[in-house]
Structure 1
Amino acid sequence: MTASTTRLLTTVVLAPLAALGVVGCRSDDSGTEGPGPGGTLTIVSSDWNGWDPEHTPTPRTTTLPASVGSSVTVDSIGETLTFEVARVGGGEVAVSSSRELAPEGETGGSNLNDLVDEFTVERGAETVLDTPTLDGGYSYTFTLS
């Protein structure tokens, strides 16, 4: 092989790989600087129950980088629950849960008929999910900043 053929093959092979490297380092288009490419995902978990009218919730706040693969484990009813960032982009993140949860209903309460284990959190909006129970559990409020 001649030197000019080697240079040509090197250019043909390495140019697309270099372009992939540039694309792979690009963050999402939200323009947010933070610990993750999508900013910070905040989760406020708060216990509730339906039988004690004097119950005082104990909210706990957890944050994690909004980057693919970031995860956190939080308390739930007698178990732990893991949330993991599955996708980042366009000013939102997709989050997967180790357990199905009930999304907030359109008129309040929880939608126990349409449980989810993956959901989207948009920047500037709250996403609220509850453990799918009627007598007591946890409410999880997600925000993206």
Structure 2
Amino acid sequence: MSTLVAGCGLGEALNPSPTVTLTVISSDWTGWSKDQPAPESASESVTKGSEFTRDGVGGELTFTVKSVDDEELTLRTSQPMSERSETGGIDLTTNQKSFTVAVGDTLEITTPTMDGGTTYAITYEE
């Protein structure tokens, strides 16, 4: 006779989280200069629980993959970031650290300041 223990993760063992590819473009910016640094692009292979970091204005930002499937991915950042609106605006008072991006789409988040920061464009590759 076998016994299953509730919460032991058997569902995850039978249906493991897929490994997917993200393209991350980091763009530092400053409000004081017309010329801006060149963006840096890199690819990341991630699965649920993966972490990766990027340097940016003001320090390092850690991204943690909270969930991933064939349709979307949810990331958590180590500090609040602001999603860019369709008009390019940002929320300077945000406390948001959780973001979702659909397969084939790009999530654009930025440092919630007006002085200088970093914008991250994260694409969940198909």
- Relative to the length of structure 2, the TM-score reads 0.82
Q: Percent identity?
A: 34
- 2:28 is matched with 47
CA separation of 1:26 and 1:138: change in aligned 2, threshold 3 A: same
Q: After the TM superposition, list the runs of 4 or more consecutive aligned residues in structure 1 that deviate by more than 6 angstroms.
A: none
CA separation of 1:22 and 1:87: change in aligned 2, threshold 3 A: closer
Cα distance in 2 for partners of 1:39, 1:90 equals: 9
CA contact (8 A) 2:58 2:117 kept: no
Which residue type is aligned with residue 136 of structure 1?
G
- Relative to the length of structure 1, the TM-score reads 0.73
CA contact (8 A) 2:80 2:94 kept: no
Task: Answer yes or no: is 1:124 the counterpart of 2:104.
Answer: yes
Task: Answer yes or no: is 1:81 the counterpart of 2:52.
Answer: no
Query: Number of residue pairs matched?
Result: 122
- 1:6 is matched with none
SS in 2 for 1:24: helix
Pairing partner for 1:133 from 113, 116, 120 = 113
Q: Which has the higher contact order (CA 8 A, sep 6+)?
A: 2
Which is greater in Rg? 1
Which segments of 5 or more consecutive residues in structure 1 lack a partner in the other structure? 1-8, 29-36
Alignment of 1:45-124 (within 5 A): 45-53=26-34, 55-124=35-104
| C-alpha RMSD of the superposition | 2.2
CA separation of 1:25 and 1:58: change in aligned 2, threshold 3 A: farther
